[in-house]
């Protein structure tokens, strides 16, 4: 008899898993072990669906590297028992978590699909049911016995996006996520249409490994006209700060003021790493295109090209948390590791 498809649902928390408590009337998390009671439609797949629930479940504002390690370890421990994984997660920091997992899981050959909802699954107009059902279908999708999407992705509303390319851009609408620099890997309409030429397939077979070392000594500095020297100086001289994501203007431009470039140079001279990421949701950093970015390049700032801040933060935490030498970390930051840069 043919083995049925097995999918593991990992419920971390967030709006999707909430229902109205019939006694108190408040929103309480559901027990995902009995997910088919809440979403009976799932039985029609004929899959073996199992679920693990974080205890306690967390609002995604409380996500930290420990949460990412927990999700990654669950996938690692259950890797051989399931064909795919669906991670239910609050939307607020889902892009950070999906980015982190894409860097932590090396040798991934199975789908890890994050999803959530803007309205709880227990609410009549919920978007959670469609998100969950389609995320499961994508996690189970195979061709010639191989998974169609062996990547860490976010499925939301009707789009499958590479996780480390996403940003949450709406706190209001059902299409909460966008991927400004990469088209969707799949779109769900009457059929799910996969964009196979964009999906990353493994070229060499390696066993799955988890990188679980993080250095949280990173900061994001978003530039704005009139930014003061005191603020920049105190941030860059913070004890334990090893990496800075500099959110610059346009194609990677920043003030040409002597004090500003001086602070950046000193930070780098002391061993710090600075990655230039644009404030524009879409487009690329091109250092040297304008004089206003040439100084950054000379100071030793690295180009993040079209990486999102969410991916930059998590990538930097993981690379700084490794025992690699600075020059190697700089090379890896300048290159795409999991499809996070074009």
Question: Across the strands, what pairs with 188?
Answer: 192
Nearer to ligand ASP, 115 or 309 (CB): 115
Catalytic positions, written as ranges: 15
Segment near ligand ASP (CB under 6 A), from 30-38, 85-93, 122-130, 324-332? 85-93
Residue 29 interacts with ligand ASP (CB under 6 A): yes or no: no
- In the range 276-315, which residues lie near ligand ASP by CB under 6 A? none
Nearer to ligand ASP, 21 or 59 (CB): 59
Residue 95 interacts with ligand ASP (CB under 6 A): yes or no: no
Whether residue 88 contacts residue 10, with contact meaning beta carbons closer than 8 Å, is answered with: yes
Taking alpha carbons only, the member of 141, 138, 142, 146 closest to residue 163 is: 138
Give the E-state strand segments of the chain in sequence order: 6-11, 18-20, 27-29, 48-53, 84-88, 105-106, 112-115, 142-143, 146-147, 152-156, 159-162, 167-168, 177-178, 186-188, 192-194, 209-210, 218-222, 243-248, 273-278, 302-303
**Closest separation in Å from C-beta 28 to ligand ASP:** 14
Whether residue 18 contacts residue 30, with contact meaning beta carbons closer than 8 Å, is answered with: yes
Residue 92 interacts with ligand ASP (CB under 6 A): yes or no: yes
Residue 56, CA distances (Å) to 14, 30, 62, 76, 94 in order? 11, 12, 11, 21, 18
Nearer to ligand ASP, 10 or 244 (CB): 10
Nearer to ligand ASP, 110 or 168 (CB): 168
x/- letters, 315..334, toward ligand ASP (CB under 6 A)? --------------------
Segment near ligand ASP (CB under 6 A), from 9-17, 44-52, 127-135, 286-294? 9-17
Can you give the binding site for ligand ASP, defined by CB under 6 A?
Answer: 13-15, 59-60, 90-92, 116
């Amino acid at each position: 008899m043919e083995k049925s498809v097995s999918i593991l649902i990992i419920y971390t928390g967030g709006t999707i898993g909430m229902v109205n408590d019939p006694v108190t009337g408040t929103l309480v998390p559901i027990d995902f072990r009995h997910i088919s009671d809440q979403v009976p439609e799932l039985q029609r797949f004929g899959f073996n669906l199992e679920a693990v629930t974080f205890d306690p479940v967390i609002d995604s504002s409380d996500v930290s590297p420990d949460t990412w390690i927990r999700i990654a370890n669950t996938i690692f421990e259950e890797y051989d028992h399931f064909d795919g994984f669906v991670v239910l997660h609050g939307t607020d920091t889902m892009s950070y978590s999906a980015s982190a997992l894409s860097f932590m899981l090396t040798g991934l050959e199975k789908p890890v699909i994050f999803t959530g909802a803007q309205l709880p699954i227990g609410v009549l107009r919920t978007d959670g049911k469609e998100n969950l059902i389609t995320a499961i279908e994508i996690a189970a999708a195979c061709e010639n016995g191989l998974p169609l999407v062996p990547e860490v992705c976010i499925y939301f509303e009707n789009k499958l996006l590479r996780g480390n390319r996403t940003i949450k851009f709406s706190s209001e609408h059902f299409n909460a996520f966008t991927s400004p620099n990469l088209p969707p890997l799949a779109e769900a309409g009457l059929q799910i249409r996969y964009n196979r030429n964009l999906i990353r397939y493994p070229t060499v077979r390696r066993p799955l490994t988890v990188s679980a070392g993080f250095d949280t000594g990173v900061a994001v500095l978003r530039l704005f006209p009139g930014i003061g020297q005191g603020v920049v100086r105190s941030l860059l001289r913070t004890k334990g700060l090893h990496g800075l994501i500099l959110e610059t203007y346009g194609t990677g431009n920043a003030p040409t003021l002597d004090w500003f470039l001086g602070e950046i140079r000193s930070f780098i001279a002391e061993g710090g790493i600075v990655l230039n990421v644009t404030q524009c949701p879409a487009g690329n950093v091109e250092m040297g295109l304008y004089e206003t970015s040439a100084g950054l390049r000379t100071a030793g700032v690295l180009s993040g090209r079209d990486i999102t801040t969410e991916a930059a933060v998590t990538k930097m935490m993981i690379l700084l948390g490794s025992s690699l030498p600075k020059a190697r970390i700089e090379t890896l930051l300048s290159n795409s590791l999991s499809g996070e840069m074009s």
